[in-house]
Structure 1
Amino acid sequence: MRCVRLRSALALLASGLLLQTATAADKVYGEQLEGFAYPYPLQRFTFTSQQQALSMGFMDVKPARQPNGQTVVLLHGKNFCGATWETTIRTLSQQGYRVIAPDQIGFCSSAKPASYQYSFQQLAENTHQLLQRQGVTNAIIMGHSTGGMLATRYALMYPQQTQKLVLVNPIGLEDWKAKGVPWRSVDQWYQRELKLDAASIKKYEQHTYYSGQWKPAYDKWVDMLAGLNKGPGHQKVAWNSALIYDMIFTQPVWYEFKNLSMPVTLMIGTADTTAIGSDIAPPEVKAQLGHYDVLGPQVAKMIPDARLITFPGLGHAPQMEAPQRFHQALLEALTR
């Protein structure tokens, strides 16, 4: 009898530990990413846009040493947040830069409106209003992934306020629609986004972003996206994501790179294969998409004052994949 009781107690303990482990790995975050820990204090910018009151979360990090008088604005990508710039913020702050990293409307810690006409112009204007509120009249604008498309649009709209433009593996180095990628309706994007979970996010990022490799440090960012997608704002998060994908696909910046008037630095992980819609493109079209080793040099030639920095073998997020190597190149580029 005593052995039976002991086995039962051990079984209960084991099941409790398993439940605890599962719960820890199955985090859920609020509609505006409540519960997720940002690396620096999260502030709020409340403003009116399209006849509704909206709120953007952002970090405004002061220089950790003697200020150099310059501000860097970091614009995140589609599957990223301001928080994913963590090591870049720390590196820049330690070099005397003020760093502002907002979450765009529809993303992460910011509002998920029930209806919103998304455009890169609108997001650029929202960002410009935030910077005005923070007293920033001139800044280095740096965008990664979808944030690269937004940074390009911002620089085209506000050239006098853009000191330099830095694009890190930006998407939009090609026009997928013009190359033959099939169109998806917003409803189709919505149904796709409703199905997102940690496993599918990790599979996509490992294959597309990191050349099949994976590091434990990436798990935090998968957890961030998965926890947001399965939280109480699940449907609103998926709907806004669908609207944003439609914006990305239908609003190319490729044709306007030639109009950029400020110094531009392109930082390209050459193993990147990111291309919107490649999952439903015919094989002959898919074969032409996402070749960043080719796209980087092509776009650099289109920009009047461009410098290309390549990271052979790195994927879509070189600042996360090889942070020391990336940030050394970034700091050198900013001081040129």
Structure 2
Amino acid sequence: MKPLLLLASLAVLSLAPNDASYAAEREPYGIGLEGFQYPYPVQMLPLTNDGEQLRMAYMDVPSQKPNGRTVVLLHGRNFPSSYWAPVIRTLTDAGYRVVVPDQIGFGKSSKPSGELHFDTLARNTITLMDHLGIAKFDVVAHSLGGMLSVRIARAYPDRIDHLVLAAPIGLEDYRLYVPPTPTEKIVETEDKLTAEGYRKQLETNYALKLPPEQVTPFIDARFNIKGSSDYPRWLRAFVSSAQMIYREPVAHEIPLIGLPTLFIMGADDHNAPGKPNAPEALRPKMGQNADLAKALAAKMPNAKAEVLPNAGHLVFLDAPAKFDELMLGFLATKP
């Protein structure tokens, strides 16, 4: 994708100027990102998780030249699903219908009072596809979405034709490096984080290649909710997602996936959740994600790994042209 088109696609994610003083003065977003614009219309699916009435937000984007196939995009932990805007455009231009949910606990979806679990999110995603009448689909998943896609692929293998894992996390079992962290400690740490601290965290953990103005909407989406009356509820849900990543590893399940699978990794992506809490001697061993992806692909019956140079954790934004080429080429192969 051309740089100007990428910039335009990302710019739509923010309703207001990125001036810090203006951000401080305007109305805060709600914890369902009320006030934060998505690139396509958002619909809501009522769900019940653990007896709690919730709503799952999603975009359902048709193609003007449909090929009869559907791709589901699964987002990461630190981003609303709106960051998929450039990939949505690429896929719809190629003929795909694109379904883009915000998982429960994220983006414009409900923030539950209970704990998050990958198996529940997997069932929710299948419920959405049943609601839309889509029996078979392809999956493109990023970061935490990669972990979720593993659970979907394991539980519902007959529903998926192709699986694209874009810089997924969960390629190693973080419990082997990081001691358990009390929820209250994570809540305290996340609550103290500032917008500038978060920007530095993204730059360090994700090896961001994007210019600052393209990163600002991501930071805005997170920090302009702090003035919401329901912010403590959002914070609890966000921390629950961190504990879910730690407590529910998928690395041991990945080699069992028989679906056609493509890993697209950034060569500079060394993201490893919980790494700062690991003993110092173990930290260098964590987050060797490109090597982990290649090793896992070699153990799988129908998988391969591509590593893109000069790309970090946001591989589909760092190297959009090559990512699109690999993704579209893989999706076009016979399952």
- Name 1:312's counterpart in structure 2: 309
Tell me how far apart the structure 1 counterparts of residues 245 and 116 of structure 2 sit (CA, whole Å). 9
Closer, same or farther: CA 322–334 of 1 in aligned 2, 3 Å: same
List gaps (5 residues or longer) in structure 2: 1-18
For structure 1, which segment, 310-319 or 194-203, has the greater mean C-alpha deviation from structure 2 after superposition?
194-203
Tell me how far apart the structure 1 counterparts of residues 24 and 316 of structure 2 sit (CA, whole Å). 25
**1:21 Cα deviation from its structure 2 partner:** 6.0
Q: Which amino acid aligns with 2:57?
A: G
TM-score by length of 2: 0.90
Please state whether the residue corresponding to 2:282 is helix, strand or coil. Answer: helix
Q: Which amino acid aligns with 1:140?
A: D
Closer, same or farther: CA 286–212 of 1 in aligned 2, 3 Å: farther
- Name 1:173's counterpart in structure 2: 171
Give the 5 Å matches for 1:1-336.
22-24=21-23, 28-64=28-64, 66-114=65-113, 116-178=114-176, 180-210=177-207, 214-336=211-333
**1:25 Cα deviation from its structure 2 partner:** 6.2
Tell me how far apart the structure 1 counterparts of residues 328 and 228 of structure 2 sit (CA, whole Å). 38
Tell me how far apart the structure 1 counterparts of residues 226 and 168 of structure 2 sit (CA, whole Å). 24
Tell me how far apart the structure 2 counterparts of residues 240 and 177 of structure 1 sit (CA, whole Å). 21
What is the CA deviation profile of residues 153-185 of structure 1, one whole-angstrom value per residue up to 9, with x for unaligned ones?
Answer: 11101000011111011000001112x212111
Please state whether the residue corresponding to 1:177 is helix, strand or coil. Answer: helix
Q: Is the 8 A contact 1:140 1:165 kept in 2?
A: yes
Q: Is the 8 A contact 2:179 2:278 kept in 1?
A: yes
**1:136 Cα deviation from its structure 2 partner:** 0.9
Closer, same or farther: CA 245–308 of 1 in aligned 2, 3 Å: same
Closer, same or farther: CA 217–211 of 1 in aligned 2, 3 Å: closer
Q: Which amino acid aligns with 2:232?
A: Q
Q: Is the 8 A contact 1:271 1:313 kept in 2?
A: yes
For structure 1, which segment, 135-144 or 181-190, has the greater mean C-alpha deviation from structure 2 after superposition?
181-190
Structure ID, larger Rg: 1
Q: Is the 8 A contact 1:73 1:100 kept in 2?
A: yes
Q: Is the 8 A contact 1:197 1:230 kept in 2?
A: no
Please state whether the residue corresponding to 1:100 is helix, strand or coil. Answer: strand
**1:109 Cα deviation from its structure 2 partner:** 0.4
Closer, same or farther: CA 72–213 of 1 in aligned 2, 3 Å: closer
What is the CA deviation profile of residues 290-315 of structure 1, one whole-angstrom value per residue up to 9, with x for unaligned ones?
Answer: 11232121111122110211111210
What is the CA deviation profile of residues 244-295 of structure 1, one whole-angstrom value per residue up to 9, with x for unaligned ones?
Answer: 1111001110101121121001010010111111112111110101112321
Q: Which amino acid aligns with 1:111?
A: S
Q: Is the 8 A contact 1:147 1:170 kept in 2?
A: yes
Tell me how far apart the structure 2 counterparts of residues 278 and 105 of structure 1 sit (CA, whole Å). 25
Tell me how far apart the structure 2 counterparts of residues 227 and 152 of structure 1 sit (CA, whole Å). 32
RMSD of aligned residue pairs (Cα, Å): 1.6
Tell me how far apart the structure 2 counterparts of residues 266 and 230 of structure 1 sit (CA, whole Å). 38
Q: Is the 8 A contact 1:194 1:234 kept in 2?
A: no
Q: Which amino acid aligns with 1:83?
A: S
Please state whether the residue corresponding to 1:58 is helix, strand or coil. Answer: strand
**1:151 Cα deviation from its structure 2 partner:** 0.6
Q: Is the 8 A contact 1:206 1:213 kept in 2?
A: no
**1:78 Cα deviation from its structure 2 partner:** 0.4
**1:22 Cα deviation from its structure 2 partner:** 0.6
Tell me how far apart the structure 2 counterparts of residues 26 and 202 of structure 1 sit (CA, whole Å). 20
Q: Is the 8 A contact 1:211 1:271 kept in 2?
A: no
Tell me how far apart the structure 1 counterparts of residues 76 and 144 of structure 2 sit (CA, whole Å). 4
Tell me how far apart the structure 2 counterparts of residues 293 and 52 of structure 1 sit (CA, whole Å). 39
After the TM superposition, which parts of structure 1 deviate over 6 Å for at least 4 consecutive aligned residues?
none
Q: Is the 8 A contact 1:56 1:110 kept in 2?
A: yes
**1:230 Cα deviation from its structure 2 partner:** 4.4
Tell me how far apart the structure 1 counterparts of residues 129 and 197 of structure 2 sit (CA, whole Å). 35
List gaps (5 residues or longer) in structure 1: 1-19
Tell me how far apart the structure 1 counterparts of residues 243 and 192 of structure 2 sit (CA, whole Å). 17
